[in-house]
Amino acid sequence: MDTFSTTCRPKTYKIVFIIALILGLAFLQFDVKNAYVHTDVDKEIYVIQPTKFEKNPKNKNFICKLNKALYGLKQSPRL
């Protein structure tokens, strides 16, 4: 069974903002983009090295194995 993180449509959160504004409520915002960084990857995923990461010019064609999920990776929300 796959599980996905829930998302909110722009119309929905705009309505919530309007209601809160009318009622004089306060909002707190949390940024959870780094949640994916701490998740272990369940399959073997290999990527090329990021640009300007190559410390040795001889190793610029090396690939890297991911140990932790990255933000933007298709599997990240399911992990």
Please report whether residue 4 resides in a domain: no
**pLDDT beyond 60 at 4:** no
Please report whether residue 33 resides in a domain: yes
Amino acid at 46: Y
**pLDDT beyond 90 at 45:** no
For residue 21, give Cα distances in angstroms to 14, 26, 30, 36: 10, 8, 19, 32
The answer to whether residues 63 and 47 touch, using CB atoms and an 8 Å cutoff, is yes
**pLDDT beyond 70 at 37:** no
pTM over 0.85: no
Domain boundaries, position 59: 10-78
Q: Give SS3 for 14.
A: helix
The count of structural domains within the chain is 1
